[in-house]
């Protein structure tokens, strides 16, 4: 039998049910992998006892015939989800030591479904970053290497870089992520795994540390499309505690999986075929087109004319919302307090925030405060929200001609840590293909498409109309079946 | 989708005084050196986002909800409370059942 840690979520679930192994064996195997991979720095907190307790419960439930959808499956939890009694930091110094007295809706749903927690996964600080280099708790390192003796540590993507690194390294079979402007899809692409951001509102934001509330959306990351469907079914659902939660039933996405795309139309957005597009990225995109055609789909060219404005609009809207959301960190109610000798209340606020936030977080708070300030609000924020409406309209028009859109996930494969830290703009450009779907609130996923000439993973992105995660998953499955992506990082850690 | 920083029809830029003012509004203590470093960084980002000024938005309403959704009303009943100790559990300084802060009235 394959090693337990090589199994997918579906294989663990089904093998456990069939009695091939116990849940405790699975949890112990993953706990051991987590403990042996500290050099990747994927976890901020490890919780082997949580995973074992859930596993023992699953073993008892199996004996009693009361199995739940994720019984026996241990997962990783991005450290942006509040977990009762377990430190939750958003990878910031500001929240170091913060121990929630409540549980996020999404994590509670996963525990209710029988899943166990292997630990809290590292991320970019407050989910702001595309390389996991802004964490107060240190960089996450991708298990992938360029090979041929080049051992430069590579970025696992961000902000869900702990999640992507841990899954690719077989430290967990699946993990939660959150996606504000590509933070599930880009790290999935960088590490050769899958991840889906559902329609805005599918997963409750309650208990997820807020970055940009009109964009933040939780979703799963795993090695297969089926595993993403299983996880998403157990994360999504209406929650009265989130005012923007969708009051819709959760579809049976796993049961609905079908890679037969006969009668389906796949749109290729001409504006994404940018001048100077990376040759490997273009090749894998062409492969994706051929695979979807092979699955029975008709390929049509579509136009998303405002695509080039998505990224600048995002870098007004997201910082504006962040500056407002992060105003709560004041050194009074929770988190860090920095009180210099003789400081008054205002000075305490400013000192606390200066000490608690990292440079990228401060940069975004500053940008957000500026674009919302008197005299600039209309020129920046209102204009950006109008452009956002046009971007959403572009997608609505495109989906009159096609069922899903196929595009690259990111403009390149993983880069080395440190390569893009000197220039914030060059880092932001990583999300150029991911941000438009975020601004429009649409479901979008990344699946592995192939490798660069140098042997690093590249992702293909599928974007669907609002509420149609099934179409996205099905196109992803059609690609997965044809891409035959079996590459995995050679173990060095 | 090539994005070229710098192109702007109405270049607005921030100077050291503005950066310090914004930091004050954001309640971020910044040293002179930090503020000086932020001037070119913020200008680079602001000049880049100003390309949005090229877009014709005549007759376009700014987006307010990404997915059409009506805000719900719930029954006007108490659903929470009596959790004082939980609320205070993570406070940097809690005294006598309250959050404690430096003296605000001399």
Question: Does B72 sit within 8 Å of A247, measured CB to CB?
Answer: yes
Does residue A138 carry a pLDDT above 50?
Answer: yes
Report how many domains make up chain A: 1
- Whether B20 is in a domain gets the answer yes
- Indicate if A78 belongs to the active site: yes
Across the range A384-394, mean pLDDT stands at 98
Q: What is residue B4's predicted lDDT score, i.e. its pLDDT?
A: 40
The dihedral built from the CA positions of residue A83, A438, A369 and B17, taken in this order, carries a sign that is positive
Residue A35 is part of which domain span? Answer: 4-261
List phi, psi (to 5°) of A408. -65, 155
| Annotated active-site residue in A159, A163, A164, A307 | A159
Q: B86: which chain A residues are within 8 Å (Cβ-Cβ)?
A: 101-102
- Joined tokens for residue A136: 């107060």
Does residue A39 sit in helix, strand or coil?
A: helix
Distance between CA atoms of residues A111 and A199, nearest Å: 22
pLDDT tens digits for range B2-46:
334 433 334 568 999 999 999 999 999 999 999 999 999 999 999
- Whether A475 is in a domain gets the answer no
Q: What is residue A149's predicted lDDT score, i.e. its pLDDT?
A: 87
Nearest residue of A to residue B52, measured between CA atoms: A309
Across the range A324-338, mean pLDDT stands at 97
Distance between CA atoms of residues A67 and A394, nearest Å: 45
pLDDT tens digits for range A210-266:
999 999 999 999 999 999 999 999 999 999 999 999 999 999 999 999 999 999 999
Distance between CA atoms of residues A444 and A197, nearest Å: 5
- Joined tokens for residue A437: 């779907």
Distance between CA atoms of residues A339 and A68, nearest Å: 49
Distance between CA atoms of residues A334 and B20, nearest Å: 26
Question: Does A309 sit within 8 Å of B52, measured CB to CB?
Answer: yes
pTM here?
Answer: 0.96
Q: What is residue A178's predicted lDDT score, i.e. its pLDDT?
A: 98
Decide: A195 and A439 in contact? Cβ < 8 Å.
no
What ipTM, to 2 d.p.?
0.91
- Joined tokens for residue A20: 């091939």
Q: What is residue B104's predicted lDDT score, i.e. its pLDDT?
A: 82
Residue B50 is part of which domain span? Answer: 1-56
Decide: B20 and B30 in contact? Cβ < 8 Å.
yes
- Indicate if A183 belongs to the active site: yes
Across the range A117-131, mean pLDDT stands at 97
Q: A327: which chain B residues are within 8 Å (Cβ-Cβ)?
A: 27
pLDDT tens digits for range A394-412:
999 999 999 999 999 999 9
- Is residue A209 less than 8 Å (CB to CB) from chain B? no
Decide: A73 and A173 in contact? Cβ < 8 Å.
yes
Does residue A24 carry a pLDDT above 60?
Answer: yes
Pick A148 or A329 by higher pLDDT: A329
Decide: A129 and A360 in contact? Cβ < 8 Å.
yes
Question: Does B14 sit within 8 Å of A370, measured CB to CB?
Answer: yes
Does residue A250 sit in helix, strand or coil?
A: coil
- Is residue A303 less than 8 Å (CB to CB) from chain B? no
Calculate what percentage of chain A has a pLDDT beyond 70. 100
Question: Does A385 sit within 8 Å of B62, measured CB to CB?
Answer: yes
Residue A157, phi-psi category: left (phi > 0), alpha (psi -120 to 50), beta (remainder): left
Q: Which residues pair with B17 in a beta bridge?
A: none
Q: What is residue A485's predicted lDDT score, i.e. its pLDDT?
A: 97
Q: A383: which chain B residues are within 8 Å (Cβ-Cβ)?
A: 52-53, 55, 57
Q: What is residue A100's predicted lDDT score, i.e. its pLDDT?
A: 98
- Whether A60 is in a domain gets the answer yes
* Residue among B25, B62, B93 whose CB faces A382 most closely: B62
Distance between CA atoms of residues A452 and A332, nearest Å: 49
Instruction: Return the exposure string of A85-110: e unless at least 16 CB atoms fall within 10 Å of the residue's CB, then b.
Output: ebbbbbbbbbbbebbbeebbbbbbbb
Residue A300's contacts (CB-CB under 8 Å, 6 or more residues apart) are A265, A266, A267, A268, A401, A402
Question: Does A275 sit within 8 Å of B2, measured CB to CB?
Answer: yes
- Is residue A367 less than 8 Å (CB to CB) from chain B? yes
- Whether A371 is in a domain gets the answer no
Q: What is residue A244's predicted lDDT score, i.e. its pLDDT?
A: 95
- Is residue A238 less than 8 Å (CB to CB) from chain B? no
Q: What is residue A422's predicted lDDT score, i.e. its pLDDT?
A: 85
Q: B77: which chain A residues are within 8 Å (Cβ-Cβ)?
A: none
Averaged pLDDT of chain A:
97
A to B CB pairs, distance under 8 Å: 184
Report how many domains make up chain B: 1
pLDDT tens digits for range A53-95:
999 999 999 999 999 999 999 999 999 999 999 999 999 999 9
Q: How far is A169 from chain B (nearest CA, A)?
A: 33
| CATH number of the domain to which B52 belongs | 1.10.20
Count other C-beta atoms under 10 Å from residue A306's C-beta.
Answer: 22
Q: A330: which chain B residues are within 8 Å (Cβ-Cβ)?
A: 27
Q: Which residues pair with A408 in a beta bridge?
A: A460
- Whether B66 is in a domain gets the answer no
Q: What is residue A412's predicted lDDT score, i.e. its pLDDT?
A: 96
| CATH number of the domain to which A51 belongs | 3.90.1300.10
Q: How far is A33 from chain B (nearest CA, A)?
A: 32
pLDDT tens digits for range B36-85:
999 999 999 999 999 999 999 999 999 999 998 788 888 999 988 899 99
- Whether B78 is in a domain gets the answer no
Q: How confident is the model at residue A374 (pLDDT cuts 50, 70, 90)?
A: confident
Question: Does B27 sit within 8 Å of A353, measured CB to CB?
Answer: yes
Does residue A318 carry a pLDDT above 60?
Answer: yes
Question: Does A99 sit within 8 Å of B92, measured CB to CB?
Answer: no
Q: What is residue B10's predicted lDDT score, i.e. its pLDDT?
A: 45
Question: Does A357 sit within 8 Å of B62, measured CB to CB?
Answer: no
- Indicate if A159 belongs to the active site: yes
* Residue among A101, A307, A348 whose CB faces B89 most closely: A101
Q: What is residue A252's predicted lDDT score, i.e. its pLDDT?
A: 98
Nearest residue of B to residue A305, measured between CA atoms: B1
Q: How confident is the model at residue A1 (pLDDT cuts 50, 70, 90)?
A: low
Q: How confident is the model at residue A304 (pLDDT cuts 50, 70, 90)?
A: very high
């Amino acid at each position: 039998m394959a090693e337990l840690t090589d199994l997918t979520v579906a294989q663990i679930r089904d093998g456990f049910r069939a009695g091939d192994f116990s849940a405790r064996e699975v949890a112990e195997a993953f706990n051991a992998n987590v403990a042996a991979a500290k050099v990747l720095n994927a976890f901020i907190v490890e919780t082997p006892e949580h995973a074992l307790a859930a596993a023992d419960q699953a073993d008892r439930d199996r004996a009693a015939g009361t199995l739940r959808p994720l019984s026996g499956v241990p997962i990783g939890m991005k450290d942006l989800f509040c977990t009762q009694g377990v430190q939750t930091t958003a990878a910031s110094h500001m929240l170091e030591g913060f121990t929630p007295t409540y549980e996020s809706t999404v994590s509670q749903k996963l525990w209710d479904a029988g899943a166990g927690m292997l630990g809290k996964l590292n991320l970019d600080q407050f989910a702001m970053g595309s390389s996991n280099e802004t964490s107060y708790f240190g960089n996450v390192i991708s298990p992938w290497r360029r090979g041929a003796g080049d051992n430069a540590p590579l970025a696992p993507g961000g902000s869900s870089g702990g999640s992507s690194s841990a899954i690719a390294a077989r430290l967990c079979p699946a993990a939660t992520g959150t996606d504000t402007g590509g933070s599930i899809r880009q790290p999935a692409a960088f590490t050769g795994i899958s991840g889906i951001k559902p329609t805005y509102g599918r997963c409750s934001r309650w208990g997820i540390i807020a970055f940009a509330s009109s964009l933040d959306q939780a979703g799963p990351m795993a090695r297969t499309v089926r595993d993403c469907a299983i996880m998403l079914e157990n994360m999504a659902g209406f929650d009265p505690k989130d005012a923007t939660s969708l009051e819709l039933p959760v579809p049976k996405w796993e049961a609905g999986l079908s890679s037969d795309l006969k009668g389906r139309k796949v749109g290729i957005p001409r504006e994404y075929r940018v001048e100077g597009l990376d040759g490997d990225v273009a090749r894998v995109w062409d492969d994706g087109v051929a695979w979807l055609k092979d699955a029975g789909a008709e390929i049509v060219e579509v136009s998303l004319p405002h695509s080039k404005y998505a990224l600048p609009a995002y870098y007004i809207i997201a910082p504006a919302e962040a500056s407002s959301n992060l105003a709560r960190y004041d050194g009074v109610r929770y988190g860090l307090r920095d009180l210099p000798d003789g400081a008054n209340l205002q000075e305490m606020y400013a000192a606390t925030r200066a000490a608690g936030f990292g440079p990228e977080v401060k940069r975004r708070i500053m940008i957000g405060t500026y674009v919302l300030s008197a005299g600039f609000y209309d020129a920046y924020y209102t204009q950006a929200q109008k452009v956002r409406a046009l971007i959403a309209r572009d997608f609505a028009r495109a989906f009159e001609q096609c069922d899903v859109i196929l595009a690259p996930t990111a403009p390149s494969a993983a880069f080395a840590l440190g390569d893009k830290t000197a220039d914030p703009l060059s880092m932001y450009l990583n999300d150029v293909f991911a941000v438009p779907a975020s601004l429009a609130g649409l479901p979008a996923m990344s699946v592995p498409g192939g490798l660069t000439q140098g042997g690093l993973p590249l992702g293909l992105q599928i974007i669907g109309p609002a509420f149609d995660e099934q179409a996205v998953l099905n196109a992803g499955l059609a690609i997965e079946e044809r891409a035959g992506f079996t590459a995995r990082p050679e173990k060095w850690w | 989708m090539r994005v070229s920083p710098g192109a702007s029809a109405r270049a607005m830029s921030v100077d050291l005084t503005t950066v310090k003012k914004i930091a004050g509004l954001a309640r971020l203590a910044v040293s002179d050196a930090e503020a000086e470093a932020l001037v070119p960084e913020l200008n680079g980002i602001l000049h880049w986002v100003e390309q949005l000024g090229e877009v014709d938005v005549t007759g376009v309403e700014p987006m307010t909800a990404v997915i059409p959704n009506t805000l719900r009303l719930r029954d006007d009943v108490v659903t929470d409370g009596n959790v004082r100790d939980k609320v205070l559990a993570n406070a940097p300084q809690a005294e006598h059942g309250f959050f404690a802060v430096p003296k605000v009235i001399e």
